[in-house]
Copies of this chain bind each other. A is one copy, B any other.
């Protein structure tokens, strides 16, 4: 169950209808999940800012590096030009290049892109090599294209889905999670959604309760958990009309959401936040006839509610990724349990997070 179904609330702002990144109108998400025997637990998750030709109608975007131990592709062009021109792909560490090739092929082959000679694929990853035979590089280009084709509006499958198939967080099974916030009209009325691929360590906190500490299961508490590394990929979408600069600031707030779940952004964690705006008026056409782009942007001093929304939604998306994940029997000798709800729910009740 998702955390709200269990009575756990994060923050003070209301969620969107689905409590999902797809509450941001137009955003699509698709998965390819690869499970073969015990040794293959990996996959691909695709996030599309809109259903049109993204290369022709780029979206304002920014990528913030929380901790750069990662292989994310596309960052320098996104931050130089301020936009994203392809679907965003999440996968495993050693499959970034394959995903790039797939995205490039996808873009070159789209109607209208016949003369395109340069494509900036945005691909993020976390390392699912604890459970998955990552060295086998089982993802192929078809898997990536299928995730793009699968992308749809509506509810997003969480937990062991897509790129979250084989990930581990806080020593438990992690995976894909999502959440959203809808600002009241007085604060702009914007919707902001987050999707995460959780695969990192620290001292698990659920709605503030130091569950990892109470379970005596946290980073550096024993040898098993000494390897806190892994990564957290975060994608933030909003319909607020933001330019690159304020999207970068927004992405930085999502980074703070990691901390609220107890993440410590360890040395070997590749923590990146990709943020984009779906505001149609601010799309950047590939071919501009006009000498000037007309834009409407949220002023700096109205950004803070969006910042709050990004922190809350990220925290909640990470928790959803854990609560929705299921135990996995992985590579020989590598099993990871799901969150032990039997132990955790009583702690949350005792601490007043779940009301009786």
Chain B residues in 8 Å Cβ range of A252: 66-67, 265
- Nearest-Cβ distance from residue A209 to partner chain B, whole angstroms: 6
Chain B residues in 8 Å Cβ range of A294: 294-296
User: A19–B323 Cα gap in the complex (Å)?
Assistant: 36
Q: Tell yes or no: A356 within 8 A of B by CB.
A: no
User: A321–B116 Cα gap in the complex (Å)?
Assistant: 27
Q: Tell yes or no: A26 within 8 A of B by CB.
A: no
Q: Indicate if the CB atoms of B77 and A70 lie closer than 8 Å.
A: yes
Q: Indicate if the CB atoms of B97 and A221 lie closer than 8 Å.
A: no
Selected contact of A210 from candidates B208, B253, B290, B311, CB within 8 Å:
B208
Q: Tell yes or no: A4 within 8 A of B by CB.
A: no
Q: Indicate if the CB atoms of B219 and A304 lie closer than 8 Å.
A: yes
Q: Indicate if the CB atoms of B117 and A135 lie closer than 8 Å.
A: yes
Q: Report the interface size class on chain A.
A: 35 or more
Q: Indicate if the CB atoms of A135 and B108 lie closer than 8 Å.
A: yes
Q: Indicate if the CB atoms of A305 and B220 lie closer than 8 Å.
A: yes
Chain B residues in 8 Å Cβ range of A82: 245, 300
Name 30 interchain pairs, CB-CB below 8 A, sorted by A.
A11-B203, A12-B220, A65-B80, A66-B252, A68-B76, A69-B77, A69-B81, A70-B76, A70-B77, A71-B73, A71-B120, A73-B73, A93-B118, A97-B97, A97-B98, A97-B100, A101-B101, A117-B134, A207-B208, A208-B209, A243-B243, A255-B256, A264-B311, A266-B307, A267-B300, A267-B301, A267-B303, A288-B301, A293-B296, A295-B295
Closest 10 CB pairs of A and B: A208-B208, A68-B80, A68-B76, A256-B259, A97-B100, A117-B129, A266-B304, A97-B97, A97-B101, A292-B296
5 further contact pairs, Cβ within 8 A, besides A117-B135, A268-B301: A66-B252, A67-B80, A117-B129, A259-B311, A264-B304
